[in-house]
Amino acid sequence: MNVGAKSRPSRFHYLLAAELVLIILYPFLGYQRHPLFGFIALPTVIAGICVVTADRRIVTVALGLGVFAIAGNFVSSIEGLRSPGLICWMVFSVFILVVVLHTVLMSVEVSMDTLYGAIAAYLLIGVVWGMAYDLLEIASPGSFFSLIHVERFT
């Protein structure tokens, strides 16, 4: 029996809930980075750090990356600093994604928490790809356009 999983049976549902709130509220903040996004993203970072508390070294890395992610979110609302802020958030998200996937895939028993972790990982994959596309648009403005509609997708 896995003792670590027994002592913390519901660690992924907080991450999943925080991700869902972030994904639902993000479109309401407008197309530009809103300063409020840093506050809305804070529960996601905290939940991500709480997920990785099994190993001290991983927690240290997650704390460091989490601080950079939150700082990057606040800094990215400043003109010209959007890319570094987005990169900080993306690195943190990829790190948490790898830890969550490893934990879920190495789980001996399938529980509701394991399913929450799998859904959270799935959503994180989508978020990371969205950030990658956002970085592409920043690096090469006009990368995404429609032949049918004149408006750009930004």
Tokens of 80: 């010209």
pLDDT classification of 1: cutoffs 50, 70, 90? very low
Rg (CA), the chain: 17
Whole-model pTM over 0.85: no
Q: 145 pairs with which residues across the strands? A: 152
Is a pLDDT exceeding 90 seen at residue 118? yes
Q: Tokens 């913390």, residue?
A: 8
Residue 152 three-state SS = strand
At residue 6, the pLDDT reads: 45
Are 116 and 5 in contact, with CB atoms under 8 Å apart?
Answer: no
Is a pLDDT exceeding 50 seen at residue 4? no
